Amino acid sequence: MYTSNFNNLILNSDSYKTSHWVQYPAGSEYMSSYVEARKGDYDVVFFGLQAFIKEYLSDPITQQDIDDAETVITAHGLTFNRAGWERLIEKHGGYLPLRIEAVPEGTIVPISNVVCQVVNTDPEFYWLPSYIETALLRAIWYPSTVASVSHYCKGILRQALERSADNMDSLAFRLHDFGARGASSFESVALGSLAHLVNFSGTDSMTALVAASRWYGMDKDMPAFSIPAAEHSTMTAWGRDGETAAFANMLEQFGGTDKAFSVVSDSYDLWNAIDNIWGDALKEDVKNMGGTLVIRPDSGEPVKVVREALERLAVKFGTTTNSKGYKVLPDYVRIIQGDGISAQSLSKIVNAVMDAGFSAENITFGMGGGLLQQVNRDTMSWAMKASAICINGSWKDIYKDPVTSHSKRSKKGRLALIKNASGELETIKADALSENKQSLLRDVFVDGRLLVEDNLTSIRERTGW
């Protein structure tokens, strides 16, 4: 009964899609659908379409796929469009007769604007744009949402550094991805962690490095970096009485000129670790090792813990005052807060740090579940909706407008995205385009071929990296 090909595109859909080909009006020829984020707290950073096309649309549907799909779908209690799928192989060699156009990946688009549009290129396959909705929408909403949240956080950190630091050189490393173990699947890590790298250069998700090479041309350049770091097991293995020795071992193993390493320091008593171990017993070793010790609290209320940790470190190691009037710890000691970080808590922490007179350059953040897992399709209300249909050679607008929820009203017609006279991005009907008003949507995929291939570097540049 079960298919041997886990990536069978015919089965990469919702069950009810299998019966839709007989539900459209007689004479249906073309269907145009679009993708948008309808609402939310973040601008859209569009990302992930190229990965989906390379991974799932580059290989043709095969007869085996059809046979396996029919077995599963009919046993599942549904009708199956065998003739349609076999016709796809006969006419198009199994490649999808679709045109997918989208904004360039990395483009920042205000919510409630079209970012992607799909239409079939062969009238026999009017049912195909809707059939791929499940896979295509998922491929877009998740990495785009992660990229959008990450970009929003970058804005918070940028403003904090502009206000309290002498330079912005470290911005790309201020938010580190800690989300691999908390993500829902291996592919979620690949897509979500990679989406974070659109904005930052720090990650502990090595899967993202593989994904960047596989899908976004980073097979020669390293897109992100990390540093040696302790976990609780490597500290508690020394026992409570051996915590000083455990810390000293970290200095011995990883200290050195221009080196940095992180030590989780709350296994027993963070304040004792700062005041009596780092700031007393090992103080001279920390000062003289030549590198940077990054102390990691990992429990407690983040705003209070970070602020108090900075104040205690300032007492033990001293500070200087930068040109903006904020206190900066010596280069050899910093803090990374990786517990309880979200877009909301991040802002509260950096504000508390600056209110206490410290520069935001004293602290780096690690973000796990808040980055990769605490998002869903409703975070930005993503949807893919049909907006136009061609029946017997005539196009007409179609839409939904539920009286019970006007927020779910969909757009009408074949769409375009333009930059209007005010310089803002705006969705209009494609019929309204002119020589002086060109759509920012570009053809990315047509009839089985990827037409545009971006690398991560160019995508980063579009975000204002």
Reading the block at residue 234, the tokens are 């490597």
Report which DSSP code applies to 411.
P
> What average pLDDT score do residues 141-152 get?
98
CB 235: neighbour CB atoms within 10 A?
Answer: 23
Q: What is the pLDDT of residues 77-107, one digit of tens each?
A: 999 999 999 999 999 999 999 999 999 999 9
Q: What is the pLDDT of residues 165-199, one digit of tens each?
A: 999 999 999 999 999 999 999 999 999 999 999 99
pLDDT of 46 above 70: yes
Contacts for 375 with CB less than 8 Å, ≥ 6 apart: 142, 145, 146, 149
What's residue 357's pLDDT? 98
Using the CB atoms, write b or e for 246-268: b if 16+ within 10 Å. bbbbbbeebbeeeebbbbbbbbe
CA distances 110 to 35, 78, 417, Å, are 13, 40, 11
Predicted structure pTM score: 0.97
Residues 116, 136: Cα–Cα separation, whole Å: 10
Query: Smallest Cα–Cα separation from 105: which of 135, 59, 132, 139?
Result: 139
pLDDT band at 110 (very low <50, low <70, confident <90, very high): very high
CB 401: neighbour CB atoms within 10 A?
Answer: 10
Reading the block at residue 241, the tokens are 């009485």
Amino acid at 157: L
**How confident is the prediction for the chain on average, in pLDDT?**
97
pLDDT band at 408 (very low <50, low <70, confident <90, very high): confident
Amino acid at 411: K
pLDDT of 324 above 90: yes
Residues 408, 426: Cα–Cα separation, whole Å: 19
Report which DSSP code applies to 273.
I
Query: Smallest Cα–Cα separation from 312: which of 280, 287, 285, 341?
Result: 280
pLDDT band at 5 (very low <50, low <70, confident <90, very high): confident
Contact at 8 Å (CB) between 298 and 229?
no
Reading the block at residue 459, the tokens are 């995508």
What's residue 2's pLDDT? 62
Residues 258, 424: Cα–Cα separation, whole Å: 44
Question: What is the distance between the terminal CA atoms of the chain, rounded to a whole angstrom?
Answer: 49
Contact at 8 Å (CB) between 408 and 381?
no
pLDDT of 330 above 90: yes
Residues 322, 327: Cα–Cα separation, whole Å: 6
> What average pLDDT score do residues 313-329 get?
98
What's residue 3's pLDDT? 59
Query: Smallest Cα–Cα separation from 425: which of 151, 113, 106?
Result: 113
What's residue 436's pLDDT? 82
Report which DSSP code applies to 149.
H
> What average pLDDT score do residues 143-150 get?
98
What's residue 1's pLDDT? 57
Q: What is the pLDDT of residues 206-234, one digit of tens each?
A: 999 999 999 999 989 999 999 999 999 99
Beta bridge partners of 31: 389
Q: What is the share, in percent, of the chain residues with pLDDT greater than 90?
A: 95
pLDDT band at 407 (very low <50, low <70, confident <90, very high): confident
Residues 71, 11: Cα–Cα separation, whole Å: 11
Q: What is the share, in percent, of the chain residues with pLDDT greater than 70?
A: 99
Contacts for 448 with CB less than 8 Å, ≥ 6 apart: 57, 58, 60, 92, 93, 95, 96
> What average pLDDT score do residues 132-158 get?
98
What's residue 4's pLDDT? 65
- Strand pairing class (363-367; 175-177): parallel
Place of tokens 């979500």: 192
> What average pLDDT score do residues 251-258 get?
96
Using the CB atoms, write b or e for 293-316: b if 16+ within 10 Å. bbbbbbeeebbebbbbbbebbbeb
CB 100: neighbour CB atoms within 10 A?
Answer: 24
